Amino acid sequence: MNSLVAIVGPTAVGKSALALDLSRAFDLDIVNADSRQVYRYMDIGTAKATREERAQVPHHLIDVVDPDEDFNLALYQAKAGEAIGQIQGKGKLPLLVGGSGLYVWALLEGWRIPAVPPDPTLRRELEARASSEGADVLYEELRQADPAAAQRIDARNTRRVIRALEVSRQRTFLSGQPGKEASFSYLVIGLTSDRTELYKRIDARVDGMMESGLLAEVESLVARGYGFDLPSMSGLGYRQMGTFLRGETDLPTATQQIKFDTHRFARHQYNWFRLADERIHWLNAEDSRTGEAARDLVSGFRAGRRGRLEN
């Protein structure tokens, strides 16, 4: 039973719905691979499974830290590995689900992740430089110091660039170096969609989040004392609502910005999950037969079928 199934793809493409379908069909436990769903009190903006869905199907690595607690790749890999081991120990198949490519591949490829503690003094220095010199200067410094880490990071994600430089200064790598292969075999199912359709899905999801109370959720987080300087509060939806709450823009503009930024994020996710990657069996989210095709893949994998989809 040292095996797992993963569902990957861009945001809003339908990964969670497919995961629930497969979990019910095969009695699987879901392991979260979304870097934002680990935070408590952040439910609407991170599109977490509902309480009813979590009551029907066991979910792991959701609501594991408060928004002001540090959570990094090394911690995720350790906690996910522990959850997967517990699920496999019960004779069940884990289902890894999420769009955070760094988390997914670190786990599947067995990266060695350096457990480097934050350096607050250096971080403040780098943040000041990013403000005065520009984030591009820091990214170029990272590219020179650690090309492998730089290749895996969006140059516009200043927080990750700064973290990578912190680690690089200690002569290690943010993304780790691929170590020995993980001790389990895996099947990776990718969900994709036509770009226009995907953007429609994203826009509809954002509208649904606003109707469900995203603004009130962000106000509640602020009332609890969580500031917009926290990494958790820089996520999609939360930082844009912050611009409205600070009076920097109106609500329709902030909402539209969430949509635009999420479109861009989805494009970036395809850098992690490439359509040409033969490890991923891609299915079209718009195809009515996708659910059946995914169930066939899992059924074959459980039966021990070998091939390019299993590592």
pLDDT of residue 114: 65
Q: What is the pLDDT of residue 171?
A: 56
CA 78 to chain centroid, in Å, comes to 16
Contacts of 16 (CB under 8 A, 6+ apart): 47, 49, 97
The dihedral built from the CA positions of residue 310, 16, 272 and 166, taken in this order, carries a sign that is negative
Average pLDDT over residues 62-75: 92
Question: Tokens 């993304």 — which residue?
Answer: 175
Spell out the domain ranges in the chain: 3-113+177-302, 120-169
φ, ψ at 58 (rounded to 5°) = -60, 130
Cα 218 to the center of its chain, rounded Å: 20
Instruction: Indicate if the pLDDT at residue 306 is higher than 80.
Output: no
Give me the DSSP letters along 191-226: EE--HHHHHHHHHHHHHHHHHHTHHHHHHHHHHTT-
Query: Looking at residues 204-212, what average pLDDT do you find?
Result: 98
Q: What percent of the chain has pLDDT over 90?
A: 68
Please give the average per-residue pLDDT across 105-132, as a whole number.
84
How confident is the model over 58-64, as a mean pLDDT? 97
Residue with the larger pLDDT of the pair 251 and 271: 251
Name the fold adopted by 3-113+177-302.
Rossmann fold (3.40.50)
What average pLDDT does range 8-25 have in this prediction?
97
Does the structure show a pLDDT above 60 at 37? yes
CA distance 243 to 296: 46
Which residue is listed with tokens 């989805």?
266
Lowest mean per-residue pLDDT among 20-34, 112-126, 218-232, 279-293: 112-126
Enter the CATH code of domain 120-169: 1.10.20.140
